[in-house]
Amino acid sequence: MIEILEITPAIIEEILQNTQRESLPYFEYGFITESVLKSSFRLSLQHSVIKESTISKAIYKEGKLAGYIILERADFDSEIFGYNVHRIAFLDIFKTGRNESSGIIQALLSVINQSESDAKIKYLTFTINSNNTNLLYLFTILLHNRFYFINTLLTFSHRKEENFNSHFQVKESRKDFLIRESHAGDASAIITIASNSHKINRFHLDPNLDKAKCDLLHATSARNSVLNGFVDIIYVAENNGNVIGYYSGKKKNLQGSGLIIGEAAISAVSEKFRGCGVFNMLDNALLGWFNSNTDFAEMGTYINNLPVHRTWIKKNKTMVRGTYQLARFNHDLKIPQVY
């Protein structure tokens, strides 16, 4: 007998009891204890399920918790594209047999099918950690249920160092390039660079998405970063007084741990100056900021972005995970016309 229930505080505790370390965010960092990771994960689940637009369901088989799914509405993406964009924030199963796992995932996906009808979900995204022990089952069954693969994001990590190499500091600027913190006057240049860059990402690579709106998404995100404080730091690269690249970062508390995590948000360099070492200098500046303001930080890029891989590898940065990006586009729902 299968039963699907709304996730309650009691079910969250049951989820935590069944969740293995390898399914917890940041489990790759051995210096963080499992109890700290679970405490942080509890807060994340609690915060997610109380959102008005969140859909959260747990599945029970013969009275035992077998898995759960949480769908969150991506408000910013929805506003840009003009229809409901959701993401699978959390998805896990607690059975290991292939046949059992397939049935449980299929039952959880029935929640999505129903939600697409009720909430008019047009576009749904999901990212799978390549270290997930249920990767094979999840990936295969999702592809059989109208999800499609977009790209792979690789995540590298920087751990705070007591004797951080001096050449990673912002003071390093070549004679023809100046690296500095941004100010409001850089907004126009940064927005222009953002609009003309980022052609290899999960938005532009998805054939179902309007490319002009993908450009608008990046431009608006850049505007919010510079003018509305959506990130904590932005470094820009100047050449002859003109902004020709930028790199932004932010930090957050790992809830309940006392640790501060840095996240590289987004970077771009004007096409004319690519291959000139501009990203490397911007990266040095951001790594220096991470080292002063965080306990550890993560930076991501796509699997085919070899120049960035080489930059981080030369700096002895370690890859901690790959993330497979999937999406599902509901062609049955009409996009409302704007007049």
Give tens-digit pLDDT for 53-80.
899 999 998 899 999 999 999 999 999 9
Does 161 lie in the same domain as 140? no
Q: Residue holding tokens 């993908």?
A: 214
Whether 338 is in a domain gets the answer no
Does 127 lie in the same domain as 47? yes
Q: Which helix (H) or strand (E) holds 100?
A: helix 98-118
Q: What confidence tier does 202 reach under pLDDT thresholds 50, 70, 90?
A: confident
Three-state DSSP class for 339? coil
Whether 334 is in a domain gets the answer no
User: Which residue would you say has higher pLDDT here, 304 or 164?
Assistant: 304
Cα(204)–Cα(98) distance, integer angstroms: 34
Domain end call among 124, 145, 166: 145
Q: What is the CATH number of the domain that holds 289?
A: 3.40.630.30
Does 312 lie in the same domain as 166? yes
Q: Token pair of 171, please?
A: 């003071």
Does 175 lie in the same domain as 56? no
- Amino acid occupying residue 294: T
Whether 328 is in a domain gets the answer no
Whether 331 is in a domain gets the answer no
Mean pLDDT, residues 258-287 taken together: 91
What are the φ and ψ backbone dihedral angles of 207, each rounded to 5 degrees?
Answer: -65, -15
With a cut of 60, say whether residue 169 has pLDDT above it: no
Quote the radius of gyration of the chain (alpha carbons, Å): 21
CB contact at 8 A, 261 and 225? no
Domain end call among 145, 179, 204: 145
Long-range contacts of 16-20 (CB under 8 A, 24+ apart): 16/41, 16/42, 16/45, 18/65, 18/94, 19/92, 20/133
Q: What confidence tier does 128 reach under pLDDT thresholds 50, 70, 90?
A: very high
Q: What is the mean pLDDT of the chain?
A: 87
Does 235 lie in the same domain as 115? no
Does 163 lie in the same domain as 139? no
With a cut of 60, say whether residue 239 has pLDDT above it: yes
Does 194 lie in the same domain as 141? no
Whether 336 is in a domain gets the answer no
Does 174 lie in the same domain as 308? yes
User: Which residue would you say has higher pLDDT here, 335 or 311?
Assistant: 311
- Amino acid occupying residue 326: L
Give the pLDDT score at 108: 85
Count: domains in the chain: 2
Count CB-CB contacts under 10 A for residue 241: 6
Cα(39)–Cα(41) distance, integer angstroms: 5
Give the pLDDT score at 339: 30
Residues of the chain with pLDDT > 70, as a percent, come to: 90
Cα(67)–Cα(216) distance, integer angstroms: 37
Give the pLDDT score at 255: 78
Domain end call among 145, 174, 194: 145
User: Which residue would you say has higher pLDDT here, 220 or 157?
Assistant: 157
With a cut of 90, say whether residue 162 has pLDDT above it: no
**Nearest Cα residue to 93 out of 59, 54, 47:** 59
Does 247 lie in the same domain as 141? no
Give the pLDDT score at 280: 93
With a cut of 50, say whether residue 15 has pLDDT above it: yes
Whether 193 is in a domain gets the answer yes
Whether 88 is in a domain gets the answer yes
Cα(291)–Cα(289) distance, integer angstroms: 5
Does 303 lie in the same domain as 188? yes
Give the pLDDT score at 118: 57
Give the pLDDT score at 174: 61
Whether 180 is in a domain gets the answer yes
Q: Token pair of 1, please?
A: 């007998």
Q: How many CA atoms lie within 13 A of 12 on its CB side?
A: 17
Instruction: Please give the residue range of the domain that contains residue 262.
Output: 157-321
Q: Token pair of 244, please?
A: 């020709």
Query: Which residues does 230 contact at the CB level (< 8 Å), separation at least 6?
Result: 221, 224, 250
Does 116 lie in the same domain as 217? no
Does 135 lie in the same domain as 46? yes
